[in-house]
Structure 1
Amino acid sequence: MKLRAFVFLISICAFSQEKDDLKLWYNKPATDWMTEALPIGNGYIGAMVFGGINEEHIQFSEGTLWSGGPDSNPNYNFGIKEGTYKYLPEARALLKEGKTREADQLVKTKFTGAIETGSRYNSEFGDYGAQQTMGDFYIKVNHLGEASNYKRSLDLKTGLAEVSYTVSGVDYKRTYFGNYPSKVMVYHFESSVATNYEIRFVTPHATVKEVLEDSVYIFQGKVADNGMAFETRVSLKKTDGNVSYKNGVVYVEGAKDITLEHTAATSFKLSYPKYKNPRFKLKNTEALEGVSKLSYDDLIEEHVLDYSNLFNRVSFSLKGQSFSDVPTNTRLKNYVKGNQDRGLESLYFQYGRYLMISGSRPNTMSMHLQGKWNNATNPAWAADYHSNINLQMIYWPAELTNLSECHEPFLDYIESLVEPGKLAAKEFFNADGWMVNTMCNAFGYTSPGWGIPWGFFPGGAGWFSQHLWDHYDFTNDKQFLQDKAYPIMKESARFWISYLTEDENGKLVSVPSYSPEHGGISSGASMDHQIAWDVLNNCVKAAAVLGIDDDFTKRALQTRDNILPPQIGSWGQLQEWKEDVDDPNNKHRHVSHLFALHPGNQISTIETPKLAEAARVSLNARGDGGSGWSRAWKINFWARLNDGNRAHKMLNQLLTAVETKTVSMDNSGGTYANLLCAHPPIQLDGNMGGVSGIVEMLLQSHSGIIELLPALPDAWQSGEIKGLKTRGGFEVDIIWKQGKIIKGQIKGSPLAKGKLKINDKTRTFELNKKGIYIF
């Protein structure tokens, strides 16, 4: 089948229900990496394409390239300060005596994680390290004259980025994509006449070797502070031009067609405690050997088949205006001005799924704060793995939007933290099980951060464990639950069984604790209690599935039921701490004490209406501002409170066009011209939290009932969404008009049963022998 016919067929068959053109496009090249360049990826590598006319710029990062860690400092010990637990009784006694200032000072002095900093490290965080850019390719195009008919685009249907323009009557076109099956990035340049190109690679890291061998450019380098080795290769064998090399520049002369096949690997392996892979170069050799017999058309066909197998599982369209003929940056600005662009909302939803597919595939490194896209050696917050909301939010859409495979790298990363997390739990708190705190790196750092209060958050492992349970709950993979999820969840639960202590009323509380990045020391931050309840509750459910009834199960149930429950405070708010000290005028971006509402399920409008109303009071008090991820989380909160119009208002807020490039953690959140979330700076959590929030508006299943349109806003009176997943392993398609479901179906295992809430009425259902229930 001819390539164009193939791509066309894929698009028509899979997207006949998706009415809007799912394409980001611009009429100018990008001049800024963070706000304008377009992301592509194959799970291993994330690249940003600028689309320059006279010179193309492609920046890329490979997910395992990190500074810091054991090889940067012989004394690196995962941040652990041995014997810190000896100060725990004193901290608890001070809090019991009401000496909060003294307790806070003790924790700040003794309970911080250890890092070594200095000018010899790549990152400001020293031996903690940071995710690293690998470098930049610059491809100079030797043509003269002004460009016309310029267009730069990213097609979400096919996962192809393109640049096209005309210079002096000559047509130029470029196509870029990440091919996951063959583990290569592909950059294709074509022109209507023979053209000369110059290709050079620039990296901030030390050069070990740079050569051109048999039309393959090879660069080997190392990270300065830890010596981590890496290699990137680009094959130029598929060109009709002549290839030569001199002084670090690859020259291609007289080419109408060039296909650059790009791969990269590092000496890192996600394996505690050494994190080493000495045979990493073989990955590049094998990848390029694997594509040596594939034509460009073969590569693009392989990519589109693989990509569309995931992307096409979900389609989403809303009745209303769509301005797909307007450049995306202009479209975004118009949306904020009140332009009712329903197509932009569905585009944003599918863009998040595109980013998930591009950045997180089986056997690749987990996405970090920026996904797989990083252009710095000292990026904001180390481009690391934050456990107090950010990393979890990045993976919220994985199960919901039928991308369970894309969840796997995060689940593997969680598993890698268990052993160092046990050491940290023992040395800091003399506790059983494992924990992580706010900041986690590629090298098993699970200790508290080096600053208080932001760095103190032992709840991270419990929250991570929710993702393990969810992966089972959405897939019904009992083998996964038994072999991987339950053992990790159990160890996290054992930490809380050890750490929680009785208060004056006999209730179990978390002492000492801090609500994430907000407020002072407490004798029980509500989020800690809610996370502990969640992981213990999930362990009880998992044990029931696996037929386990032992001493741990009984202890988990007893502990869960004795944790201090969510409290309602003096002005009707859900308390953020055990102490009733919430400030109704505080607009802080974190609303951590609503974890029990979302992503937890301890609070609901049906089962606990008073607590749900208290959550509403707290949410109203915090307001609609915040950083990008904060606005995204609020979409999910309001959806769980069944307030579709408020959730949609928060989606509007999330899609606020942001043009500043400064760092801000207060009320500057929104979306850049390339639709990446502005924290600011760039963070992927807002994109993914926005996708999750859209799903929560249209479909919820956390209560054990599949609830359709639980928070439908007035703006979305008619539409359809197909392929969403629910807990219990079901897949749901729905079509609605004038706010009411008119048609739909549920798919799953033959004869599977469940409960369905449709148009405010609850019914039971059973799938037929083909695994389908039509309503």
Structure 2
Amino acid sequence: MRLLPLCVASATILFAATTHAHPTDYVLRYDRPAKDWQSEALPLGNGRLGCMVFGGVPRERLQFNEDSLWIGDESDTGAYQAFGDLFIEFDHRDHTNYSRRLDLRDAVYSQDYEADGVRYARQHFASNPAQVLVFRFTASKPGAYSGRLQLTDTHGAKIVANGNRITASGDLRGFVYGEEERRSPDQPQYRVALQYEAQALISHEGGEIAADGEGAITFKNCDSLTILLAAGTNYVADRSLGWTGAHPHERVARQIDAAAERTFDNLLEEHRRDYQSLFSRVSLDLGDTSESSKALTTDKRLEAYSSDAPDHDLEELLFHFARYLMISSSRPGALPANLQGIWNESNKPVWRCDYHSDVNTEMNYWFVDAANLSECFLPLADWLDSIREPRRDATFVELGKPGWALRAENGLFGGSTWQWSKGDAAWLAQNLWDHYAFTLDKDYLRDRVYPVQRDLCEFWLADLKELPTGELVSPLGFSPEHGPHEDGVSFDQQLVWDLFTNTIETTEALGVHEAFRDQLIQKRDRLLGPQIGRWGQLQEWMVDRDDPNDDHRHVSHMIAVHPGRQISPTTTPELAEAARVSLNARPDGSTGWSMAWKAAIWARLHEGDRAYQLVNRLFVDGAKLKANLDAGAELDRHAGGIMGNLLDSHPPFQIDGNFGYAAAVCEMLVQSHLGHVRLLPALPAAWNDGEFTGLCARGGFELDLRWRDGKPLTLTIRSRRGGEFRLLLHEGESVVNSDTSEALPQQDGYAAVRTEPGQTLHLQFRRRD
């Protein structure tokens, strides 16, 4: 075992490209250990394994998860489960000069403090290449570590300590969502009962360690400690195998043993290279922040944030925190991020910690391609492919229709509970299509997108109902998560329009099934379209029943604005105005995810300052929420925001608000959903000067942009696939190719340039005074 240690002209403003001028310190900082799991502990993850770090001194808690530890089956959603904890007790207690940090640039948690004249330090990370969690403890004095390591399990596993390794091995037979007591193993509630195992291995320099006979390991007078943790289940994403494969013991042991043969520094360097290959693709500068704000710990910065004194570095930090969380909870080969990513401490979590399909799972993945993390999307496509067969069976049995649909709660094995929400599957298919729109990967389009689209179109072609007027509507639909079940709800209508439109474009891109395409075109053109109601609102239902005093958190009739493309100020100004009326009628304050979605919708309506109001609310309301948590007050389940550790709260913690915030920021800076690129479409006055690198546009383009006084200055375009780059210009604006000094051709307010695969273009913007 080797574990060791800006030029102004009279008629034209012209700027040259520069490097990022305002690097943000992407570090979360705190001056005391965490007490609360959801608002203070800090998350680590490698896509599949995750943990929450508390940073305790006399007793450290490292609560961990593995993404496939689920109960449920093809008939029942079940729930995502907690896995266990590592508890580490130390013999030093009183401490000073405490600091704990999470550096988003390299996904490493660090901590230091002093006790009894000794400086103690920790470094923790979650390695994707090695598939282990790594915890390192060092000190300024030899022999400073004495204490005890304990591995615990939340499902009654057998725990054995032997030498320098602790193993917890068990199964999920008899465990039921919402019940505290374990059922008899011979009376399982679910037809799928996964086996699981976790192993923790401790390595030391100096001193001695020993298994204590109680499933724990003691350590005495050690100079340093390194702990490795691996965990897994026997889940396989294959219905034909009953969703299960070989016991995970050999795989988990192999992961631990391979990591243990390497030095800590080697594991850390490999982890950094892997993580930074994704994270370092994007930078963002939204303006200046005062030095006094920068000096505060992250939780204090959140408390100090206000609409009168915004902290732009904190806004950038939250954006990158979303990218960090996505990299940490959704990597190729893993499962998609659920309601809490991969972090969960309960076996009966709120809303099952599941794949909620009436906005939440979709919201998780809206920003991924725009934020240059396309690889992180693939787990969602893989999971959707895996559940197609059980969903087809359930849909035929329960609804008597071909194809498939979903209820709103969805689990690992295709089980779906709560009530039918027929538009949900089409909404998830929108995610699938949008990933193609960014990447133009035709193999993915053919193998992952089109089969799902065909299934869902089959369902809707059978389900649509003809009105006496000849229009087609969804019968007895549901507008999440309120209102009556009735014909023609806007949620379904907009999503079916979107599904048919995207599938039509898929058949064109693949050059297949012309007759099927024609059928979809005919049916789409007969769909009941968006309606404007009696008070000028965009109707949520076919019947003009919208209440102007409705304060519900869901805005399900806004999908055509965002994330869809049926309604836009550019193409359908009257419908866009109706959407503004409806959205203004809903209060800004709500759950975290609801505020994030409303910000993205306002961005699509080109209302940057209005979107920024929602950004403000996320921070300000989050600070209030954290204060209530600290005071032990009862929480309003429909008043959320960003908490002290920057996790979003519904409440409780729900990760879609983090991901939705990042989506809103992307929509405020770049839009490309209408077949052209629009820069700074919803730039708020607060972000008047700034820059970004690495954000992406549909069509396979990666962009770097600098702007001043709300106008673009320079743009770098990296074309991945080649093709035409079409740019909507601001009034009085022209664009010059910096490499050739030639102006780009303009027509009807657009500039266009033909690109080759792999080509990089440097553009400068000129505008009349």
In structure 1, the residue matched to 2:58 is 54
CA contact (8 A) 1:28 1:150 kept: yes
Instruction: Give the superposition deviation at 1:457.
Output: 0.3
Matching residue's letter, 1:295: T
Of 707, 712, 717, which residue of structure 1 is paired with 2:683?
712
Matched, 1:671 2:642: yes
More displaced stretch, 338-347 vs 268-277: 268-277
* Match 2:279 to one of 287, 311, 316: 311
**CA displacement at 1:349 relative to structure 2:** 0.3
Following the alignment from structure 2 to structure 1, what is the Cα–Cα distance between the partners of residues 457 and 443?
20
- Equivalent in the alignment of 2:542: 578
The answer to whether structure 1 residue 332 and structure 2 residue 302 are counterparts is yes
One-letter code aligned to 2:146: N
Deviation at 1:769, TM superposition (A): 7.2
Query: What is the aligned partner in structure 2 of residue 291 from structure 1?
Result: 259
Distance 1:599 1:770, change over 3 A: closer
RMSD after superposition: 1.8
2:77–2:409 Cα contact (<8 Å) kept: no
Where in structure 2 are the equivalents of 1:393-408 lying within 5 Å?
A: 393-408=363-378
Name the CA distance, whole Å, in 1 between partners of 2:146 and 2:471.
74
Amino acid at match of 2:270: E
Aligned residue in 2 for 1:257:
224
Contact 2:537 2:578 survives alignment (8 Å): yes
Q: CA 1:531–1:750 in structure 2 vs 1: closer, same or farther (change >3 Å)?
A: closer
Task: Please state how far the C-alpha of 1:664 moved relative to its aligned partner.
Answer: 6.0
Q: Which residue of 1 aligns with 2:463?
A: 499
Conserved? CA contact 1:43–1:357, under 8 Å = yes
Of 413, 434, 439, the match for 1:470: 434
Match 1:607 to one of 548, 563, 571: 571
Letter of the 1:727 partner, please give it.
R
1:392 aligns with 2:344: no
Q: 1:402 and 1:769, CA in 2 relative to 1: closer, same or farther beyond 3 A?
A: closer
TM, length-normalised to structure 2: 0.88
2:522 aligns with one of 536, 547, 558: 558
Match of 1:217 among 145, 162, 166: 166
- 1:282-681 paired onto structure 2 within 5 Å: 282-322=250-290, 323-336=293-306, 338-446=308-416, 449-450=417-418, 455-655=419-619, 656=621, 657=623, 658-659=625-626, 660-661=628-629, 667-681=638-652
After superposition, what is the alpha-carbon deviation per residue over 1:451-500, rounded to whole angstroms, capped at 9, x for unaligned? xxxx2301111111112111211111111111221111111111111111
> How far, CA to CA, are the matches of 1:261 and 1:239 in structure 2?
15
Secondary structure (helix, strand or coil) at the match of 1:735 reads strand
Is this contact kept in 1: 2:392–2:403, CA < 8 A?
yes
Distance in 2 (CA, whole Å) between partners of 1:351 and 1:476 is: 27
The alignment status of 1:32 with 2:33, answered yes or no, reads: no
> What is the alpha-carbon distance in structure 2 between the residues aligned to residue 647 and residue 308 of structure 1?
30
Q: Give the drift of 1:774.
A: 1.4
Equivalent residue for 1:700? 671
In structure 1, C-alpha distance between the alignment counterparts of 2:468 and 2:43, rounded to whole Å: 54
- CA deviation digits over 1:607-632, x for unaligned, max 9? 10000000000000012121111000
CA deviation map 1:88-139 (0-9, x unaligned): xxxxxxxxxxxxxxxxxxxxxxxxxxxxxxxxxxxxxxx5421110111111
Structure-2 residue corresponding to 1:108: none
Name the SS for the 2:562 alignment partner.
coil
Contact residue 123 and residue 137 of structure 2 kept, 8 A: yes
- Match of 1:734, SS? strand
**Residues 665 and 528 (structure 1 numbering): CA distance in 2 closer, same or farther, change over 3 Å?**
farther
Q: Confirm or deny that 1:183 pairs with 2:171.
A: no
CA contact (8 A) 1:594 1:615 kept: yes
Q: Distance in 1 between matches of 2:481 and 2:758?
A: 50
Decide whether the 8 Å contact of 1:524 with 1:578 is kept in 2.
yes
**Counterpart amino acid of residue 190 in structure 1:** T
1:130 aligns with 2:79: yes
Question: Partner of 1:170 in structure 2?
Answer: 118
- Give how far 1:203 is off: 2.0
Say which SS state the counterpart of residue 60 (structure 1) adopts.
strand
The residue matched to 2:663 in structure 1 has which SS? helix
SS of aligned partner of 1:300: helix
Distance 1:770 1:35, change over 3 A: closer
1:750 deviates by 6.7
Structure 2 portions without partners, runs of 5+: 1-17, 176-187, 732-748, 764-769
CA contact (8 A) 2:286 2:687 kept: yes
How far off its partner does 1:751 sit?
Answer: 4.8
Q: Per-residue deviation at 1:219? A: 1.4
Secondary structure at the counterpart of residue 257 of structure 2 = helix
Q: How many angstroms does 1:283 deviate by? A: 1.9
Letter in 2 for 1:425: T
Q: Alpha carbons of 1:666 and 1:578: their partners in 2 closer, same or farther (altered >3 Å)?
A: farther
Letter in 1 for 2:52: M
C-alpha distance in structure 2 between counterparts of 1:256 and 1:666, whole Å: 47
SS in 2 for 1:554: helix
Q: Aligned equivalents of 1:423 and 1:559: distance in 2?
A: 25
Secondary structure, in 3 states, of the residue corresponding to 1:371?
Answer: coil
Cα contact 2:48–2:67 (8 A) shared by 1: yes
- 8 Å Cα contact 1:26-1:327 kept in structure 2: yes
In the alignment, structure 1 residue 140 sits paired with structure 2 residue 89: yes
Amino acid at match of 2:89: K
The aligned counterpart of 1:764 is 752
3-state SS of 2:235 partner: coil
Asked whether the 8 Å contact 2:201–2:228 carries over to 1, the reply is yes
Q: 1:659-706 deviations in whole A, cap 9, x for unaligned? A: 245886764111111010010000000000000000000000000111
- Partner SS state of residue 483, structure 1: helix
CA distance in 2, matches of 1:380, 1:667: 14
Deviations 1:343-377 (Å, cap 9, x if unpaired)?
00000000000000011101111111000000001
User: Relative to structure 2, which stretch is displaced further, 586-595 or 220-229?
Assistant: 220-229
Give the Cα separation in 1 of the matches to 2:715 and 2:315: 22
Whole-Å Cα distance in 2 between the matches of residues 64 and 231 of structure 1?
12
The one of 185, 202, 220 equivalent to 1:236 is: 202
Q: Per-residue deviation at 1:210?
A: 1.7
Aligned to 1:10: none
Q: Structure 1 regions of 5+ residues with no counterpart?
A: 1-13, 70-77, 80-126
Q: Distance in 1 between matches of 2:756 and 2:375?
A: 27
Q: 1:204 aligns with which of 154, 157, 164?
A: 154
Kindly tell me: are residues 668 and 237 of structure 1, through their superposed partners in 2, closer, same or farther at Cα, counting changes over 3 Å?
Answer: same
Q: Which amino acid aligns with 2:394?
A: A
Give the whole-Å Cα distance in 2 for the aligned partners of 1:604 and 1:401.
22
After the TM superposition, which parts of structure 1 deviate over 4 Å for at least 4 consecutive aligned residues?
14-18, 661-667
Distance 2:723 2:250 in 1: 46
Give yes or no for contact 2:204–2:222 (8 Å, CA) kept in 1: no
What percentage of aligned pairs have identical amino acids? 39
User: After alignment, is 534-543 or 203-212 more displaced?
Assistant: 203-212
SS of residue matched to 2:157: strand
Q: CA deviation at 1:651?
A: 0.5
SS in structure 2 of the partner of residue 399 of structure 1? coil
1:409-438 alpha-carbon deviations (Å, 9 max, x no partner): 111111112111111221222222111121
Matching residue of 1:72: none
Per-residue CA distance 1:295-322 (angstroms, 9 max, x = gap) = 0000110011000000000000122215
> Amino acid of the residue matched to residue 728 of structure 1?
G
SS at match of 1:555: helix
The alignment of Structure 1 onto Structure 2 pairs a total of residues equal to: 700
2:231 is aligned with what amino acid?
A
Cα distance change of structure 1 residues 649 and 402 upon mapping to structure 2, 3 Å threshold: same
Judge conservation of contact 1:526–1:566 (CA < 8 Å) in 2: yes
Q: CA deviation at 1:768?
A: 5.7
Q: Deviations over 1:130-172 (max 9, x none)?
A: 111011111112125x311100110011111111101121000
Structure 2 residue identity aligned to 1:159: A
